[in-house]
Chain A
Amino acid sequence: MIWNKQYECLDREKLEKLQAERLAALVSYAGERSPFYKKKIAQHKVRAEDIKTIEDIKKLPFTTKDDLRDNYPFGIFSQPVTEINELHVSSGTTGNPTVVGYAESDLELWGEVMARALCCAGAETEDMIQIAYGYGLFTGGLGVHYGARKMGLTVIPASSGQTKRQLKLMQDFKPRILACTPSYALFMAETAKDLGLDPRKSNWQIGIFGAEPWSESMRRSIEEEWNIIATDIYGLSEIIGPGVAQECTYKQGLHIFSDVFFPEVIDPVTGKEQAEGKDGELVVTTLTKRGMPVIRYRTRDIVSITYQTCACGRTSPRISKVKGRTDDMIIVRGINVFPSQIEHVLLNLEETQPHYQLIVDRKESGLDDLEVQVEIKEEFFSDEVKQLRAITAKIQNEINSVLGLSARVRLVEPRSLARSEGKAKRVIDKRKK
């Protein structure tokens, strides 16, 4: 079923007119209320009256992750934080996280777009869903939860982890839908087999997988292991969280809900619009958000877009699976990691140089593993192993608290990590694509 036929099957002309109206209203609203946008829009000398068609969006400035970082915590918001109903965070590029805020109507919007996403994936109102995305500050768990509640599904708010319990819930409660990261789905398959279960006989028939990049071959593995339809969901906290785009059962790209999240694909170097079907950086404008709307937010995700109507009947444009990043961000166990976060930690610790390397690998079980190699500073070399272990533990604790995930730290000899002219190759990603 299509959750909201009125907007999801709107013809292109009417949709573009709606988008233009919403964009003009957004420029007024954010220009007046957000300290950040007030300045930025004035600098760009653009006004709401200048937005006559949706093409006029090109007159507006871009917003970047650095803008959010520089205005930490609430400087981007269009409402005072006393009027914000919910806050979430995601990884920042240095020491502070990226903060996002939701007004009441934004929370309703979140429920609406996630309900659309669930229906895209094939959910029916009598279904039961097991949400194994983390609940808490991360937007994954609660976002899917709000959509499931809006649809009236029976929700199992399992959150992530406790794999044996996840499998027991699946066996005993018999949910038809599973929502979690694709690598966790594979990990659960391994655990199931270790427990003597046959994953192909599971109750899960539809999977809503995202929060990290995953390939077509990984999709095939998941579908074979679980005998499940594995669909891709896309989102980012800065826009709303999960629910920005979702694959329908035809799996020919992810429908992006452009009546509320207006997409552009640009050349990341020139900023100019990329042709339909050509790879570029996805830029999203939140047309109706009230708490923290963003204008032309550069996602740094590389996709291509198509405006052809899908066989499912939805007229929303479709983006490809994310093909890469314009920056060096990696995702480990569903969590965003910026190498610069590590650099920030190392610069602030007296025992270390900011020379490091990240080695990411995927264990046989399917879980991602992150090792941080750090050069030891000569003056902190201690003759005693326990002191070196203490230094390692200290670095590890600092990194873990900034990243929000546990990484192993390994001390290496000074000058042993490759230096290079220009940008040092900080990340070695050994995971198969």
Chain B
Amino acid sequence: MKITQISVFLENKQGRLFDACSLLGSKDISIRALTIAESEDFGVLRIVVDKPSLAVEALKKAGFVATFTDIVAVEVPDEPGGLSRVLKVFCDNSVNVEYMYGFVERFSEKALLVFRFDDPDQAIKVLRENSINVIGKQEIENL
């Protein structure tokens, strides 16, 4: 199952990250995971939130360029080797990873890995075949 991530274009100008995040906070939107890909002149802010449609609407209204991106969220035991086990599955099945990031869940011993794939459907199929837990929209929103 694909999850919605929000990607936001941020100019490399003082306060832009603050502006985006404080806006979300003011709309009672909770950020589950966050990462920034940077370049000299700009950054791409990637966030997984509990209310993605509301978030994108608010960001666009405030003048940000924001889009939805399909990602796949995988839950693994939070222990050494947790990530590499998943990555081996991808290597063995020629699944290409565009980018990923991870974070630790609050009330369990699990870690959440967020992946962007060239071919998410193929990746989900491969993960399921290897009994790796792919989590869905509802579960992300309830984290």
Could you tell me which A residues sit within 8 Å of B by CB distance? 376, 378, 381, 383-385, 388-389, 410-416
B117 at the interface (CB under 8 A from A): no
In addition to A383-B7, A383-B67, A388-B9, 17 A-B residue pairs with Cβ atoms within 8 Å of each other are: A376-B9, A376-B65, A381-B65, A381-B67, A383-B5, A383-B44, A384-B98, A385-B37, A385-B38, A385-B39, A388-B42, A410-B41, A411-B9, A412-B11, A414-B63, A414-B65, A416-B63
* Given A383-B69, A384-B98, A385-B44, residue A413 in contact with residue B39 (CB < 8 A): no
Could you tell me if A413 and B98 are in contact, using CB atoms closer than 8 angstroms? no
Could you tell me if A413 and B67 are in contact, using CB atoms closer than 8 angstroms? no
A376 to B41, CA, bound (A): 13
A385 to B63, CA, bound (A): 20
Could you tell me if A388 and B46 are in contact, using CB atoms closer than 8 angstroms? no
Residues of B with C-beta under 8 A to A376? 9, 65
Residues of B with C-beta under 8 A to A388? 9, 39, 42, 44
Could you tell me if B64 and A413 are in contact, using CB atoms closer than 8 angstroms? yes
Could you tell me if A383 and B11 are in contact, using CB atoms closer than 8 angstroms? no
Max chain A C-beta neighbours (<10 A), residue from B10, B11, B39, B65 = B65
* Given A376-B65, A381-B67, A383-B69, residue A413 in contact with residue B9 (CB < 8 A): yes
Could you tell me if B63 and A415 are in contact, using CB atoms closer than 8 angstroms? yes
Residues of A with C-beta under 8 A to B46? 383
Q: What residue in chain A is nearest B71 (Cβ atoms)?
A: A383
Residues of B with C-beta under 8 A to A412? 11
Could you tell me which B residues sit within 8 Å of A by CB distance? 5, 7, 9-11, 37-39, 41-42, 44, 46, 63-65, 67, 69, 98-99, 116
Q: A413 touches which one: B44, B63, B69 (CB < 8 A)?
A: B63
A415 to B69, CA, bound (A): 23
**Shortest distance between the CB of B124 and any CB in chain A (Å):** 19
Q: What residue in chain B is nearest A413 (Cβ atoms)?
A: B11
Q: A378 touches which one: B10, B41, B65 (CB < 8 A)?
A: B65
Could you tell me if B9 and A381 are in contact, using CB atoms closer than 8 angstroms? yes
A388 to B38, CA, bound (A): 11
A400 to B38, CA, bound (A): 25
Could you tell me if B69 and A411 are in contact, using CB atoms closer than 8 angstroms? no
Residues of B with C-beta under 8 A to A416? 11, 63
A414 to B62, CA, bound (A): 11
Q: B41 touches which one: A381, A383, A411 (CB < 8 A)?
A: A411
* Given A384-B98, A385-B37, A416-B11, residue A411 in contact with residue B67 (CB < 8 A): no
**Shortest distance between the CB of A379 and any CB in chain B (Å):** 9
A378 to B98, CA, bound (A): 22
**Shortest distance between the CB of A377 and any CB in chain B (Å):** 9
Residues of A with C-beta under 8 A to B116? 383
A29 to B138, CA, bound (A): 83
A376 to B8, CA, bound (A): 12
- For the complex of A and B, 5 pairs with smallest distance between CB atoms: A383-B7, A383-B69, A381-B65, A410-B41, A385-B37
**Shortest distance between the CB of A425 and any CB in chain B (Å):** 19
Q: What residue in chain B is nearest A381 (Cβ atoms)?
A: B65
A167 to B51, CA, bound (A): 65
**Shortest distance between the CB of B117 and any CB in chain A (Å):** 12
Residues of A with C-beta under 8 A to B37? 384-385
A416 to B65, CA, bound (A): 11
Q: What residue in chain B is nearest A412 (Cβ atoms)?
A: B11
Q: A411 touches which one: B42, B64, B99 (CB < 8 A)?
A: B42
Residues of A with C-beta under 8 A to B10? 413
Q: What residue in chain A is nearest B66 (Cβ atoms)?
A: A381
A378 to B67, CA, bound (A): 9
Residues of B with C-beta under 8 A to A413? 9-11, 63-65
**Shortest distance between the CB of B119 and any CB in chain A (Å):** 15
A381 to B7, CA, bound (A): 9
Residues of A with C-beta under 8 A to B42? 388, 411
A414 to B66, CA, bound (A): 11
A411 to B42, CA, bound (A): 8
A381 to B6, CA, bound (A): 12
Max chain B C-beta neighbours (<10 A), residue from A381, A410, A415 = A381
Could you tell me if A389 and B98 are in contact, using CB atoms closer than 8 angstroms? no
A376 to B63, CA, bound (A): 12
Residues of B with C-beta under 8 A to A415? 63
A81 to B5, CA, bound (A): 61
Can you name 28 A-B pairs with beta carbons within 8 Å? A376-B9, A376-B65, A381-B7, A381-B9, A381-B65, A383-B5, A383-B44, A383-B46, A383-B67, A383-B69, A383-B116, A384-B37, A384-B44, A384-B99, A385-B37, A385-B44, A388-B9, A388-B39, A388-B42, A388-B44, A411-B42, A413-B10, A413-B63, A413-B65, A414-B63, A414-B65, A415-B63, A416-B11
